[in-house]
């Protein structure tokens, strides 16, 4: 992978991160769900440190990213890393860049003594599912993801 590298994102990368998030949303047919702003991302990622981001670059041009944060397993008794988003530009796929991002995340998880590295994938995204399985990841078929959106949180918190 000549001229390819992965680096930690900086606050100056926030517009790029936003752009890559939007491209991921388009790919997942969820672009109407993107309601964040560049400024909100900058605040929550770099000031409040709720998440971390790796940027993948080829010839110093951003071509992908991984956004992740820590969770905690009570059963394992250790922190884990939850990969919220992984995206590589469609024209750059098949070069090993997605795998390289996951390898870098695995190294971070190992350095931080994490017990797990986990993520979710849409049921229809067969190419990604097969890719993750090829890396040794196992689907957690017996689990169902639940979510409260902002309205649900507001209602429950009343």
Report the catalytic residues. Answer: 132
Burial of 74 (0-12, 13-18, 19+ CB in 10 A): exposed
| Measured distance CA(150)–CA(123) in Å, rounded | 24
Other beta carbons within 10 angstroms of residue 25's beta carbon come to 16
Which residue pairs from 148-155 have beta carbons closer than 8 angstroms and sit at least 24 positions apart in sequence?
none
| Measured distance CA(139)–CA(128) in Å, rounded | 12
Q: How many residues does the chain have?
A: 158
């Amino acid at each position: 992978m000549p001229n390819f590298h992965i680096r930690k994102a900086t606050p100056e990368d926030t517009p790029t991160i936003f752009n890559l998030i939007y491209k991921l949303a388009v790919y997942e047919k969820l672009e109407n769900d993107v309601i964040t702003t560049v400024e909100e991302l900058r605040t929550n990622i770099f000031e409040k440190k709720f998440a971390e981001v790796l940027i993948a670059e080829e010839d110093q041009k951003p071509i992908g990213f991984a956004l992740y944060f820590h969770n905690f397993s009570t059963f394992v008794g250790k922190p884990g890393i939850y990969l919220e988003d992984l995206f590589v530009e469609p024209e750059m796929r098949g070069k090993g860049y997605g795998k390289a991002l996951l390898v870098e995340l695995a190294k971070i998880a190992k350095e931080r003594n994490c017990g797990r590295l986990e993520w979710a994938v849409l049921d229809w995204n067969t190419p990604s599912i097969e890719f993750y399985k090829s890396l040794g990841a196992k689907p957690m078929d017996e689990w169902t993801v639940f979510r409260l959106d902002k309205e649900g949180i507001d209602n429950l918190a009343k």
